[in-house]
């Protein structure tokens, strides 16, 4: 199945390209200095362009000129506009301490939006932080508008060679829908709501990840994707990335055996010991040998037909587990994905899932992903494991700003798209 011209259309969520460049400033006084001193402002912009060219349009290197100011009466803030010499496109410069659409300053909203990581209702945020419930809903959903991949991954070298994919089952206005979820390196890289779990819809859902990743690196194709046994999921990835290797999640097979055998405790523990012994094989040859020994042990053993069916299924799927040995960095189980999908569960259940349109549901799912990717680890976790401040920093090796929301605002400069 080929991609249509509509599938390849850039910036699918906007009628026009993003025209806002978001930059970090040490303080509001430092920002005001840039607004009043053109030479200082130009020097600062070029310094940032040299250190972080991903925050600017590619044509910035050919020079630019100042092109007046925009004034926000609501926030009493002036913002410079620049005009690129190559192409003549115009962009506004927004400081990271200001939210998009001038809805407020980041220090006024970041604590409330951070609480959304634990699913605090919007009306509760209004009670604790002022405004009203719909204000916080709109502020939260707006976080899902930029490119998820482009905002989270800042250099092509950080694009993952191995990814995990699965569909989160949920509901939209009472009807079953699916969130096509792509994960790698403890970050969400794709969360798109689709109406059906068939090949056509899943190709569109996972295709958003491909579009955003290939905007960063046009020839990008992951080496492997780890998925469950759902054929439509595997077909969708093979359509999007013809050279990709699909690895079957070993954990799903183990859980199926566990579910069927848990009433017989003695058999249950024997099966668990043997299947995990298979998993811990260090080479493809050793893995194949342990699979054969497992089947030779299980074939004559008395067990329920339903249990033996799943044992045989695991053994017959050996060819789908083996490709992982050719790619040492590939995911062999879905644990890394399940942890993030549990986070989706915790947020979706209290709100009784989605209630608006499919597009608003996708934006909401992307906002959930953004908050996860940029949330600050607690200090105990940082000290115990030596982790950086957030999944974003752990992946990229740096952060633009110490505040998690300002860090996200800068990372989402020009919508996270390479222009």
Cα 184 to Cα 225: distance, rounded to the nearest angstrom: 10
Residue 181 contacts residue 216 (beta carbons within 8 Å):
no
pLDDT digits (tens, 9 = 90+) for 238-280: 999 999 999 999 999 999 998 888 888 888 899 999 999 999 9
pLDDT digits (tens, 9 = 90+) for 154-187: 999 999 999 999 999 999 999 999 999 999 999 9
| Lowest mean per-residue pLDDT among 34-48, 147-161, 346-360, 378-392 | 378-392
Percent of the chain at pLDDT above 70? 95
For the entire predicted model, the pTM comes to: 0.91
- In the chain the first and final C-alpha atoms are separated, in Å, by 28
Percent of the chain at pLDDT above 90? 79
Q: Return the biggest CA–CA distance within the chain.
A: 84
Cα 171 to Cα 169: distance, rounded to the nearest angstrom: 7
Q: Does 6 have pLDDT greater than 60?
A: no
Residue 49 vs residues 65, 89, 159: alpha-carbon distances, Å: 15, 17, 21
Q: Does 80 have pLDDT greater than 80?
A: yes
Beta-bridge mates of residue 29:
none
Average pLDDT rounded to a whole number, residues 220-247:
95
Three-state secondary structure readout of the chain: CCCCCCCCCCCCCCCCCCCEEEECCCCHHHHHHHHHCHHHHHHHHHHHHHHCHHHCCHHHHHCEEEEEEEEECCCCEEEEEEEECCCCCEEEEEECCECHHHCCEHHHHHHHHHHHHHCCCHHHHHHHHCCCHHHHHHHHHHHHCCCHHHHHCCCHHHCCCEEEEEEEEEEECCEEEEEEEEEECCEEEEEEEECCCCHHHHHHHHHHHHHHHHHHCCCCCCCEEEECCCHHHHHHHHHHCCCCEEEECHHHHHHHHHHHHCCCHHHHHHHHHHHHHHHCCCCHHHHHHHHHHHHHHHCCCCCCHHHHHHHHHHHHCHHHHHHHHHCCCCCCCCHHHHHHHHHHHHHHCCCCCECCCHHHHHHHHHHHHHHHHHCCCCHHHHHHHCCCCCHHHHHHCCCCCCCHHHHHHHHCHHHHCCC
Packing angle between helix 358-374 and helix 404-411, nearest 10 degrees? 120
Q: Does 9 have pLDDT greater than 80?
A: no
User: Residue 250: its pLDDT value, please?
Assistant: 94
User: Residue 7: its pLDDT value, please?
Assistant: 46
Question: Which residue is it, tokens 């587990």?
Answer: 321
User: Residue 264: its pLDDT value, please?
Assistant: 85
User: Residue 5: its pLDDT value, please?
Assistant: 42
Distance of CA 160 to the CA centre of its chain: 12
Average pLDDT rounded to a whole number, residues 56-84:
91
User: Residue 16: its pLDDT value, please?
Assistant: 65
Residues 6+ apart with CB under 8 A from 239: 1, 199, 203
Cα 244 to Cα 234: distance, rounded to the nearest angstrom: 10
User: Residue 382: its pLDDT value, please?
Assistant: 76
pLDDT digits (tens, 9 = 90+) for 344-373: 999 999 999 999 999 999 999 999 999 999
User: Residue 13: its pLDDT value, please?
Assistant: 52
Residue 347 contacts residue 353 (beta carbons within 8 Å):
no
Average pLDDT rounded to a whole number, residues 19-35:
90
Cα 29 to Cα 399: distance, rounded to the nearest angstrom: 22
Burial of residue 50, with CB atoms counted within 10 A of its CB: 0-12 exposed, 13-18 middle, 19 or more buried: exposed
Cα 67 to Cα 78: distance, rounded to the nearest angstrom: 13
User: Residue 324: its pLDDT value, please?
Assistant: 93
pLDDT bucket at 62, cuts 50 / 70 / 90: very high
* Average pLDDT, rounded, for the chain: 91
Cα 414 to Cα 102: distance, rounded to the nearest angstrom: 16
User: Residue 383: its pLDDT value, please?
Assistant: 75
Average pLDDT rounded to a whole number, residues 391-418:
94
Q: Does 300 have pLDDT greater than 50?
A: yes
Residue 417 contacts residue 11 (beta carbons within 8 Å):
yes
Q: Does 386 have pLDDT greater than 80?
A: no
Residue 149 vs residues 116, 251, 292: alpha-carbon distances, Å: 21, 27, 42
Q: Does 281 have pLDDT greater than 80?
A: yes
């Amino acid at each position: 199945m080929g991609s249509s011209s509509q599938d390849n259309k850039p910036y699918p969520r906007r009628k026009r390209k993003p025209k806002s460049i978001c930059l970090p400033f040490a303080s509001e006084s430092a920002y005001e200095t840039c607004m009043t001193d053109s030479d200082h402002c130009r020097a600062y912009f070029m310094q940032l362009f040299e250190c972080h060219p991903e925050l600017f349009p590619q044509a910035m290197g050919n020079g630019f000129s100042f092109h007046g100011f925009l004034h926000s009466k609501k926030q009493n803030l002036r913002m410079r506009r620049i005009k690129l010499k190559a192409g003549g496109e115009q962009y506004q410069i927004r400081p990271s301490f200001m939210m998009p659409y001038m809805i407020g300053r980041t220090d006024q909203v970041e604590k409330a939006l951070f609480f959304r990581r634990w699913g605090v209702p919007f009306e509760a945020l209004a009670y604790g932080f002022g405004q009203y419930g719909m204000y916080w809903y709109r502020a939260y959903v707006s976080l899902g508008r930029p490119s998820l991949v482009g905002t989270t991954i800042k250099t092509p070298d950080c694009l993952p060679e191995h990814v995990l994919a699965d569909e989160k089952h949920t509901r939209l206005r009472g009807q079953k829908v699916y969130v096509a979820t792509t994960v790698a390196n403890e970050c969400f890289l794709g969360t798109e709501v689709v109406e059906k779990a068939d090949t056509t819809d899943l190709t569109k859902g996972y295709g958003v990840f491909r579009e955003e990743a290939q905007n960063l690196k046009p020839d990008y194709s992951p080496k492997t994707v780890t998925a469950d046994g759902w054929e439509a999921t595997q077909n969708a990835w093979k359509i999007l990335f013809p050279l990709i290797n699909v690895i079957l999640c070993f954990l799903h097979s183990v859980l199926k055996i566990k579910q069927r055998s848990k009433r017989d405790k003695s058999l249950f523990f024997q099966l668990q010991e043997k299947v995990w012994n298979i998993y811990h094989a260090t080479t493809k040859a050793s893995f194949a040998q342990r699979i054969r020994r497992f089947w030779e042990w299980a074939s004559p053993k008395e067990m329920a037909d339903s249990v033996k069916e799943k044992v045989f299924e695991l053994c017959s799927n050996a060819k789908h587990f083996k490709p992982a040995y050719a790619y040492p960095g590939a995911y062999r189980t879905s644990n890394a994905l399940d942890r993030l999908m549990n986070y989706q569960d915790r947020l979706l259940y209290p709100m009784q899932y989605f209630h608006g349109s499919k597009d608003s549901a996708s934006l909401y799912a992307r906002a959930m992903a953004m908050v996860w990717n940029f949330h600050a680890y607690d200090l105990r976790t940082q000290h115990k494991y030596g982790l950086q401040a957030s999944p974003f920093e752990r992946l990229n090796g740096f952060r633009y700003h110490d505040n998690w929301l300002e860090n996200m605002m800068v990372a989402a400069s020009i919508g996270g798209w390479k222009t």
